Chain A
Amino acid sequence: MSNHALASQSARTDFMRAAGSRKGILSWILSTDHKRIGILYMIAMGIFFAVGVLFGLLIRLELIAPGKTIMEAQTYNSVFTLHGIIMIFLFIIPGLPAVFGNFFLPILIGARDVSFPRLNLLSWWLFVAGGLMAIVSVFLPGGPADTGWTFYIPYSVRTSTNVIPALLAAFTLGFSSILTGINFVTTVHRLRAPGMTWFRMPLFIWSLYATGWVQVLATPIVGITLLLVVVERALGVGIFDPALGGDPILYQHLFWIYSHPAVYIMILPAMGLISEVIPVFARRTIFGYSFIAFSSIAIALLGSLVWAHHMFTVGMSDTAQWIFSLLTFLVSIPSAIKVFNWVSTLYKGSIELEPPMLFALAFIFQFSIGGFTGLMQGALALNMHLHDTSFIVAHFHYVMFGGTGFGIFAAMHYWFPKMFGKMYNKARANVSFILIFIGFNVLYFPLFIAGYMGMPRRYYDYLPEFQSLHFISTIGSWILVLGLIMMVANLLMGLRNGSRASSNPWGGTTLEWTIQSPPTVENFETIPVVATGPYDYSRYERGEHA
């Protein structure tokens, strides 16, 4: 990008300041601009994340020593339930698709907006409504749900806490997710710029596309399941509740038919993000583009067929046991392919360890640990021992937090200058990364060991032999939270008084770096014509520096 082009572009009003037909907050919460909606999601999600972290911190504090530390058992049960609901439905699922997908999907394919901008705004409103319902359920008489985020029947039928409002909240959030999925799939099909063929799409788009299909196909199941729970409770038809002759295992199947694919809704976009970040900071094209693209599709397909690996101990038929075990092992292959290709992308690159790259490399390390410990639980004999222990807790935090969470942080630091036109303090970002990385591993690694030793999950109290591991873990939570506070503060300070960022501070080659920062309302003055793949770094190879 030449200086001349930059100067002429900065004259145009960016989307943050553009005068629309409405003023003030209405110009945001009624905006159909995909970028404003992305920022709205970011604000909502940031608030929910802070609450989720607070609950996590309280869980760890309670578990620093056996016996009661800071709260009663009933409170603890509600706190871990809310921690799960908030983190899964209000942070990890919308994290990358709704925030960064909304903001960057149209830009990365050379479009002015998504296919259905109003539907997009409706998705955000449904998200907020669902979030508010979850909050209201906490304060209604009866008290917050204490069932765990899985709502297993019959406990969820027997408890007097507010399970139905919590389920309705999840149902509403599900709809938000479905609409976003429909929007993204349609946008990718219909609004790609001229020359933006499928195999010239950035890999983040491939992963959002695969995610979109999973959102559309799997999420309705959770709606149907809720409807069945309502029918059961209102009309007394025995579906899940054994007291009415129902089958509690059926509930688990229906729950996981959605919730396992939901795990891929959570991780796939993060994988796509990592595939964007690594080439930029290695200044070379991605290794094995089509293998990474197809592995996203393979994960979406296979990932929809492994749900019952959450249920190996419930007493399924042998056939179900071995089929689900085998498929679970096979779904690890496309993930492994991605990891190998990412590492190979570093080979003969020209690597700069900027903050987004640090988060991306930590993603690879932690996601690998999460993946390998997932293999352990896929093995039937071993699953019998590990199921429902803190080993599982550690495993999914390595994937969901060490993976997706770090992916979200990488995205924050990577796209921050584009979204806001400013740069944060990199030295402080690096320090916060180090704290988060150390804190995360100190927090979750001991839980693998405790789990193997027989520490069950969702325990308010525990046997004395687990104390030292829990103590270390709690120390880790403090380091982690310190790092998180520092990271967020640094980004907010960058937002207020960061130095002006150029339109392409990292030297990226995808389309968002060709437009001004922050982008204008219409993104592109003229729709670009795409002639090369997304990661064309040949100018660096030739020794030219832009």
Chain B
Amino acid sequence: MLSSDSGFIKDVDGVFLFILAISLVLLILITLLMVYFVIRYSRKRNPRPSNIEGNVPLEILWTVIPTILVIGMFYYGWIGYERMKNIPADAIVIEVTARMWEWEFVYPNGVKTDTLYVPLGKAIQTNLISADVNHSFFVPAFRLKKDVIPNKKNQAWFRADEVGAYDIACAEYCGLKHSYMYSKVVVMAEEDFDSWYAQMYGTSQAAPADTAAKRTEGR
């Protein structure tokens, strides 16, 4: 489920691997030193301790180096986030309504679904609307998450680069069936999407008044 080359996978996994690599080096260093000291300076081997009170150059070193490292981490985190927040102007806008405990997707032409169908390689903007409490729109495969909060117009976007079906989960606790509030993003080749879209439009046109009424009701 994480194998897809979609969404912000490179940004997110890149930052993760960057921080993970630094962390592992430091963690291994700390742990090995700790174990080595405990063995080398055990009371048996070293009955007489040395009272070393400190070392200012060392303190400066291990303040400055971690500071540089974490500022690097901050920077990569910010760069990746910039791409997430800048929504392309040509994105297809889909309204996502979260309610206890289901998702609803409304397309520009008024088509409504409970599964999010999107064309491959196109930017998709999701306008996140909550009908009741806080939810969170989470697509793990796309490394995408944004809270859905009543009276707040949150937006998110993604571009799927591989055909397939991916889980949508609710990540903000929302009561009894929180863990069942799953849906799917179905990524289709563009022509498949277009024919699906046209077909859906046909069916939804059969009762356009009904759709409009429901939409107003939902607000």
Give the B-binding residues of A (Cβ under 8 A): 73-74, 77, 146-148, 152, 154-155, 158-159, 242-243, 245, 247-249, 282-285, 287-291, 313-315, 318, 321-322, 325-326, 329-330, 332-333, 336-337, 339-341, 343-344, 346-353, 361, 364-365, 368-369, 372-373, 375-376, 378-385, 387-389, 452-454, 456-463, 465, 537-538, 540-541, 543
CB neighbours (8 Å) of A452 from chain B are 2, 16
- Closest chain A residue to B77, Cβ basis: A379
CB neighbours (8 Å) of A456 from chain B are 138, 169-171, 179
B38 touching A537 by the CB < 8 A rule? no
A343 touching B84 by the CB < 8 A rule? no
- Closest chain B residue to A159, Cβ basis: B175
Assess whether B91 is interfacial by the CB under 8 Å rule.
no
A368 touching B27 by the CB < 8 A rule? yes
13 contacting pairs across A/B (C-beta < 8 A): A248-B149, A313-B145, A326-B71, A330-B67, A333-B70, A343-B37, A348-B46, A349-B46, A369-B27, A376-B20, A385-B140, A454-B2, A460-B178
CB neighbours (8 Å) of A288 from chain B are 53-55, 59
How far does the alpha carbon of A407 sit from the alpha carbon of B134 in the complex, in Å?
36
Which of A315, A463, A541 contacts B154, CB < 8 Å? A315
- Closest chain A residue to B54, Cβ basis: A288
A344 touching B173 by the CB < 8 A rule? no
Assess whether B144 is interfacial by the CB under 8 Å rule.
yes
Q: Are A329 and B74 also in contact (CB < 8 A) when A158-B132, A285-B53 are?
A: yes
- Closest chain B residue to A462, Cβ basis: B179
Which of A285, A336, A351, A458 contacts B173, CB < 8 Å? A458
Which of B38, B42, B143, B179 contacts A461, CB < 8 Å? B179
Q: Least Cβ distance of A385 to chain B in Å?
A: 4
How far does the alpha carbon of A373 sit from the alpha carbon of B62 in the complex, in Å?
19
CB neighbours (8 Å) of A243 from chain B are 150
Q: Least Cβ distance of A376 to chain B in Å?
A: 5
How far does the alpha carbon of A385 sit from the alpha carbon of B23 in the complex, in Å?
19
B173 touching A152 by the CB < 8 A rule? yes
How far does the alpha carbon of A147 sit from the alpha carbon of B174 in the complex, in Å?
8
B58 touching A344 by the CB < 8 A rule? yes
Interface string of B1-39 (1 = CB under 8 A from A): 110000010011001100110010011001101100110
B12 touching A384 by the CB < 8 A rule? yes
Interface string of B192-211 (1 = CB under 8 A from A): 00000000000000000000
Which of A285, A344, A372, A384 contacts B81, CB < 8 Å? A384
CB neighbours (8 Å) of A287 from chain B are 52-55
How far does the alpha carbon of A364 sit from the alpha carbon of B120 in the complex, in Å?
47
Which of B16, B49, B78 contacts A284, CB < 8 Å? B49
Count A-B pairs with CB separation below 8 Å.
Answer: 277
How far does the alpha carbon of A352 sit from the alpha carbon of B77 in the complex, in Å?
43
A284 touching B50 by the CB < 8 A rule? yes
B136 touching A74 by the CB < 8 A rule? no
A365 touching B31 by the CB < 8 A rule? yes
Which of A285, A341, A381 contacts B15, CB < 8 Å? A381
A459 touching B145 by the CB < 8 A rule? no
Assess whether B167 is interfacial by the CB under 8 Å rule.
yes
A337 touching B12 by the CB < 8 A rule? no
Q: Are A378 and B134 also in contact (CB < 8 A) when A364-B30, A368-B27, A384-B84 are?
A: no
CB neighbours (8 Å) of B12 from chain A are 381-382, 384-385
Q: Are A322 and B78 also in contact (CB < 8 A) when A284-B50, A284-B51 are?
A: yes
How far does the alpha carbon of A540 sit from the alpha carbon of B138 in the complex, in Å?
59
B175 touching A325 by the CB < 8 A rule? no
B37 touching A351 by the CB < 8 A rule? yes
Q: How large is the interface on B (under 10, 10 to 19, 20 to 34, 35 or more residues)?
A: 35 or more
How far does the alpha carbon of A347 sit from the alpha carbon of B49 in the complex, in Å?
9
Q: A159-B175, A249-B149 are in contact. List 16 more A-B contacts (CB 8 A).
A: A146-B175, A152-B134, A242-B149, A242-B150, A248-B151, A288-B54, A315-B149, A322-B78, A325-B74, A329-B70, A333-B66, A333-B70, A381-B83, A384-B146, A453-B140, A465-B1
- Closest chain B residue to A147, Cβ basis: B173
Q: Which of B8, B27, B176 has the most CB of A within 10 A?
A: B176
How far does the alpha carbon of A371 sit from the alpha carbon of B175 in the complex, in Å?
30
Q: Least Cβ distance of B164 to chain A in Å?
A: 15
B84 touching A348 by the CB < 8 A rule? no
The 3 closest A-B pairs by CB, nearest first: A454-B140, A381-B80, A379-B77
Which of B46, B83, B151, B180 contacts A247, CB < 8 Å? B151
How far does the alpha carbon of A351 sit from the alpha carbon of B45 in the complex, in Å?
9
Q: Least Cβ distance of B131 to chain A in Å?
A: 11
A460 touching B179 by the CB < 8 A rule? yes
Q: Least Cβ distance of A360 to chain B in Å?
A: 10
- Closest chain A residue to B2, Cβ basis: A453
Q: Least Cβ distance of B139 to chain A in Å?
A: 8
CB neighbours (8 Å) of A537 from chain B are 49, 51
CB neighbours (8 Å) of B174 from chain A are 155
Q: Which of B20, B71, B147 has the most CB of A within 10 A?
A: B147
Q: Least Cβ distance of B197 to chain A in Å?
A: 28
